[in-house]
């Protein structure tokens, strides 16, 4: 396992943001997702889960910057 440096947290947050934007822009806004609530719901749930991960990484970044 590689060592973490402070930049890794910001990097992870950026990557999660990119993924969330891609899911939103290219999947959630797609006409197929708009026509089927099952697809739309699962994509929204995926974004919510990624947002939770984003928040946790941000909290870890704050904790590591305080020490």
pLDDT in tens, 21-47: 999 999 999 999 999 999 999 999 999
Residue 42 in contact with residue 1, Cβ under 8 Å? no
Judged against a pLDDT cut of 90, whether residue 52 lies above it is answered with: yes
So what's the pLDDT on residue 39?
98
Measured distance CA(32)–CA(43) in Å, rounded: 12
Measured over the CA atoms of residue 5, residue 63, residue 18 and residue 22, the dihedral's sign is positive
Indicate the average pLDDT of the chain: 95
Residue 23 in contact with residue 29, Cβ under 8 Å? no
So what's the pLDDT on residue 67?
64
So what's the pLDDT on residue 37?
98
Measured distance CA(50)–CA(12) in Å, rounded: 11
Mean pLDDT of 39-58: 98
């Amino acid at each position: 396992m590689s060592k973490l440096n402070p930049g890794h947290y910001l990097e992870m947050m950026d990557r999660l943001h990119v993924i969330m934007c891609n899911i939103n822009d290219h999947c959630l806004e797609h006409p197929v997702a708009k026509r089927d609530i099952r697809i739309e719901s699962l994509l929204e749930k995926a974004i919510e889960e990624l947002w939770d991960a984003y928040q946790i990484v941000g909290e870890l970044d704050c904790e590591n910057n305080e020490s």
